[in-house]
Chains A and B, each alone.
Chain A
Amino acid sequence: MDADIQPATPGATHATMQAPAQPVLHDVLLQLASVVGEKNCIREVEQLRTYESDGLASFRATPGVVVLPASTEEVAQVVRIAQRANLPIVARGAGTGLSGGALPIPGCVLIGLSRMKKILEVDLDNGFLRVQPGVINLDVSKHIGPGGYYYAPDPSSQSVCTIGGNVAENSGGAHCLKYGFTVNHVLGLTVVLGDGSIVKLGGPVLDEPGYDLTGVVVGSEGMLGIVTEVVLRALRKPEATRTFFATFPSTTEAGNAVSAIIASGIVPAAIEMMDKLAIVAAKAATGVDWPDVNAALLMDVDGPLAECEHTSAIASRLCSEAGALEVRVPRDAYQRDLMWKGRKSAFAAVGRISRNYLVQDGVIPRSEIAKVLREIAELAAKTGLRVANVFHAGDGNLHPLVLYDARVPGEEKKAEEFAGDILRICLRYGGSITGEHGVGADKAIYMGEMFSEGDLETMGKLRCAFDPEARFNPGKVFPTPRLCGDKPGPHKPHASELSGDAVRV
């Protein structure tokens, strides 16, 4: 995205975050620097600007200070200093998130975890490894690849995004249709809580007695604590993978092909759809030799060799029966990688065909794909904006890219409203406002459309159980600010409660 675009029209949450910040007190800065070292305590305004947004570049705020700790203990000390100074804390990995999850709160202590990038333990026999949060997603698979293993979640940004960020957002990726999301591959966590205490949740041994707090922290968007170690599942590579690329006269036929493949009992490893604009963009960016068609599917099946041969043959036949123009099978691993590169670069590639664009992330029941795409197209025609569609068709996770030109007055606002209307379509079909990018700052205003007050209040209780002072990432996810309102720790019922005269909310 262009660096000169203006901050987006603020929603309620965004406006709160733009409140003027007090500078961090000199004494606090000195304490932070003494923990992480002078050069890892960033306070020069010019340098702080590097951290003022994440992948959602239209939202910006300047942190009070950025600290780059190197260990769990340093994170804990930083949190204690921030707590004493009553400063909000925001954690940040690589800053590739697309929902403003790592957007600073003005004047906050931003904890960058990029220096914590050690792989601490590898136990392939037992199928796990223990890593620090700053480890790059793809580096995990590179590290265990030679032993015949890999780490399954594969967000498109996997060559730069970090495991810590993946944990915060419960990141998905093309292959989560068969293998699940980050949460299905995280066995345990070390977390620094709001009072600076360190807790271990779960671990390589399954079913630790108690609530599944590991499962709760994954996807909590940095609002429960700071994750400083992660135990990941290492999967044995499948014996075989078969890929094909099929083109269609329209997204309707492509959607029908997806439905037919799923109905046949095949669980594809991945099944991705692109529409005409997305194909044009991917070609412009990567040079893949795809034809100019209105829709394409890219599909992987994996598993035992004989099964793969069988399922890829069936799926290919079902595509033809659904009206495919052509089904291409890559000749070799190089060609396969190129096909996937075309798909994974689709977001960035859209920059080749439009000055600005918004990446949307919504989910619908997969059987409704064709209908929803038609509604989006009608809306596009009405607003006069173009939409490129790239999505995980197998699980109904849409990524409409709304193209616009920020230089045209009013067009950015129109694009944002359009992107919001797409989410409302998803909700109307019983879907979700985010499948993998998270709510963050971007979508907090839509939470009230997906969830009732009782739902949000209950989620608030979950957060308060971890972070009663709302120290971490305040203002994100929830549409209205929430306070916990009482003291943390085990509850001692008051006499009036015991007698039934009073009820604590």
Chain B
Amino acid sequence: MLRSLRERVMFVGGGTQLGLGPAPEVLFSTRLLNRIVDYAPSDQVVTVEAGVTLAALQEHLNKQGQRLSLDPPLPERATLGGIVAANSFGPLRTRFGSVRDLIIGVSIVRADGTRAKGGGKVVKTVAGFDLPKLMCGSLGTLGLIATTTFRVHPLPESHATLVARGLPASGVFALVKAMRAAQLEPAAMVATREETTWEIVVRFEGFESGVKQQREKLRTLGAFEDEGDSVWAAHAAFRTAGDARVKVAALPSQLEQVVSALPAEQRLCWYPTLGLGFAMGSFEFESARHTLAALGGSLTVEAAPSGSAYGAPPDSLRVHQSMKARFDPRDLLAPGRFIGGI
């Protein structure tokens, strides 16, 4: 089908990340690519077609006491192909890393119809160039992601969520340092701005004795209270609220500079160990973009009524352009939706 392609095309999974960029002539839905191809619980490896939703995959894995340690918002709609293409993530990135850290294989269809695979179906392989990593965050500009293979993890035996409120912005990174000094290993951690102070939610996972020990230790580091799991659903809802959202990236220690670069009324959440956050609501973001770039970070628009998704491209732009030209010489795949007009 792709081989005979003449029009510009965009691949669509659950459509959760389509908030920006020019619309192409053809939308190619992966909805029918919805099989779980191969799952070996004893090897903790699963291969799925691109259109499988995260929720459907998790349900399948949970039956064997396992999960994919990725928790971006809207799992009922978000597909694995889309999650890879958009490099989507949620709070579990704190402990388990992002898509690039969990993907081990991929098969793609290039714009000229050539099928190609990279990586493998074992957790460890270094044979050949890393096509799976190349696909992470590529936004469908290099090819259709047909199947993906992931490393999965055992479901934790136990977990605990704690919350502390009323911290100043400076207290957020101070807490990260204190937790690290205390050798705590949170599975997830997110800070959310409420008016002028911050609320921090921490989740521990693992075997019960370890979770208990860490929970007690955290309570010695701040005014932490036990909290129910619903707080994570509230966070996911926060992440997708409204039709305007930007992603901000800086060093974990730079939260205060990030805060002062954004409008004071902006709703904001921040993953304190990662240095990544999301600001919700419409605003004029060009000056914030400059401030973040000066810090060595970035501001990327996830959804907005207008404006440019990306700031000034990195100095490696011509390598990105060259990659696009090699994979999609006719410039048919999601043109204009990536950095530098790719």
From B42, B126, B213, B322, contact of A488 by CB (8 A): B322
Interface membership of A252, Cβ < 8 A: no
Given A263-B42, A454-B115, residue A307 in contact with residue B207 (CB < 8 A): yes
> Is B128's CB under 8 angstroms from A451's CB?
yes
From A305, A363, A491, contact of B124 by CB (8 A): A363
> Is B124's CB under 8 angstroms from A432's CB?
yes
Given A213-B320, A305-B213, A367-B42, residue A125 in contact with residue B124 (CB < 8 A): no
Given A203-B296, A236-B180, A439-B127, residue A209 in contact with residue B314 (CB < 8 A): yes
> Is B124's CB under 8 angstroms from A307's CB?
no
Given A211-B134, A303-B210, A503-B112, residue A193 in contact with residue B319 (CB < 8 A): yes
> Is A183's CB under 8 angstroms from B42's CB?
no
> Is A462's CB under 8 angstroms from B129's CB?
yes
From B43, B154, B206, B250, contact of A307 by CB (8 A): B206
Given A216-B130, A259-B42, A366-B43, residue A126 in contact with residue B275 (CB < 8 A): yes
Instruction: Choose, from B50-58, B73-81, B193-201, B323-331, the stretch at the interface.
Output: B323-331
Q: How many A-B residue pairs have CB under 8 A?
A: 289
Interface membership of A181, Cβ < 8 A: yes
B257 to chain A, nearest CB (A): 12
Interface membership of B209, Cβ < 8 A: yes
> Is A436's CB under 8 angstroms from B249's CB?
no
Residues of B within 8 A of A493 (CB): 329-331
A138 to chain B, nearest CB (A): 21
* Complex: A364 Cα to B314 Cα, angstroms: 39
Interface membership of A495, Cβ < 8 A: no
Interface membership of A309, Cβ < 8 A: yes
B204 to chain A, nearest CB (A): 9
* Complex: A454 Cα to B143 Cα, angstroms: 13
* Complex: A392 Cα to B126 Cα, angstroms: 15
Residues of A within 8 A of B128 (CB): 439, 447, 450-451, 455-456, 459, 477
Residues of B within 8 A of A160 (CB): none
> Is B329's CB under 8 angstroms from A450's CB?
no
* Complex: A266 Cα to B210 Cα, angstroms: 12
Interface membership of A396, Cβ < 8 A: yes
Residues of A within 8 A of B185 (CB): 238, 303-304
A499 to chain B, nearest CB (A): 10
From B6, B125, B276, contact of A500 by CB (8 A): B6
Interface membership of B297, Cβ < 8 A: yes
Residues of B within 8 A of A420 (CB): none
* Complex: A468 Cα to B323 Cα, angstroms: 11
* Complex: A431 Cα to B275 Cα, angstroms: 36
Instruction: Choose, from A18-26, A105-113, A169-177, A381-389, the stretch at the interface.
Output: A169-177
Interface membership of B313, Cβ < 8 A: yes
Given A208-B298, A210-B314, A395-B123, residue A455 in contact with residue B325 (CB < 8 A): no
A194 to chain B, nearest CB (A): 11
Given A238-B185, A365-B45, A366-B43, residue A459 in contact with residue B131 (CB < 8 A): yes
Beta-carbon contacts of B83-102 to A below 8 Å, as 1s and 0s? Answer: 00001000000000110110
> Is A430's CB under 8 angstroms from B122's CB?
yes
* Complex: A263 Cα to B42 Cα, angstroms: 7
> Is A465's CB under 8 angstroms from B322's CB?
yes
> Is A199's CB under 8 angstroms from B183's CB?
no
From B115, B124, B129, B173, contact of A397 by CB (8 A): B124
Interface membership of B239, Cβ < 8 A: no
A165 to chain B, nearest CB (A): 13
Interface membership of B155, Cβ < 8 A: yes
Residues of B within 8 A of A462 (CB): 129, 131, 134, 323, 326
> Is B155's CB under 8 angstroms from A265's CB?
yes
> Is A126's CB under 8 angstroms from B153's CB?
no
Given A206-B274, A209-B300, A454-B115, residue A435 in contact with residue B124 (CB < 8 A): yes
* Complex: A205 Cα to B248 Cα, angstroms: 10
Given A207-B87, A267-B153, residue A432 in contact with residue B127 (CB < 8 A): yes
> Is B210's CB under 8 angstroms from A307's CB?
yes
From B122, B154, B212, contact of A363 by CB (8 A): B122
A249 to chain B, nearest CB (A): 22
Given A443-B127, A462-B326, A491-B325, residue A431 in contact with residue B120 (CB < 8 A): yes
A477's closest neighbor in chain B, by CB?
B128
Residues of B within 8 A of A464 (CB): 322, 326
Interface membership of A353, Cβ < 8 A: no
A-B contact pairs, 18 of them (CB 8 A): A176-B124, A199-B319, A200-B316, A206-B274, A208-B314, A211-B323, A212-B134, A265-B154, A432-B127, A455-B116, A456-B128, A457-B114, A459-B131, A464-B322, A464-B326, A489-B318, A490-B318, A505-B112
10 closest Cβ contacts across the A-B interface?
A307-B210, A215-B133, A491-B325, A432-B125, A458-B116, A265-B154, A239-B183, A306-B213, A461-B326, A465-B323
> Given A310-B208, A437-B126, A459-B129, 17 other A-B contacts at CB below 8 A?
A183-B100, A184-B101, A193-B319, A207-B98, A207-B300, A211-B323, A212-B137, A213-B320, A215-B133, A304-B185, A306-B209, A307-B211, A366-B43, A447-B127, A450-B127, A458-B131, A491-B329
Chain B interface (Cβ < 8 Å from any Cβ of A): 6, 40, 42-45, 65, 87, 97-98, 100-101, 108, 110, 112, 114-118, 120-131, 133-134, 136-138, 142, 153-157, 173, 177, 180-181, 183-185, 206-214, 247, 249-253, 273-276, 295-298, 300, 310-311, 313-327, 329-331, 338-339
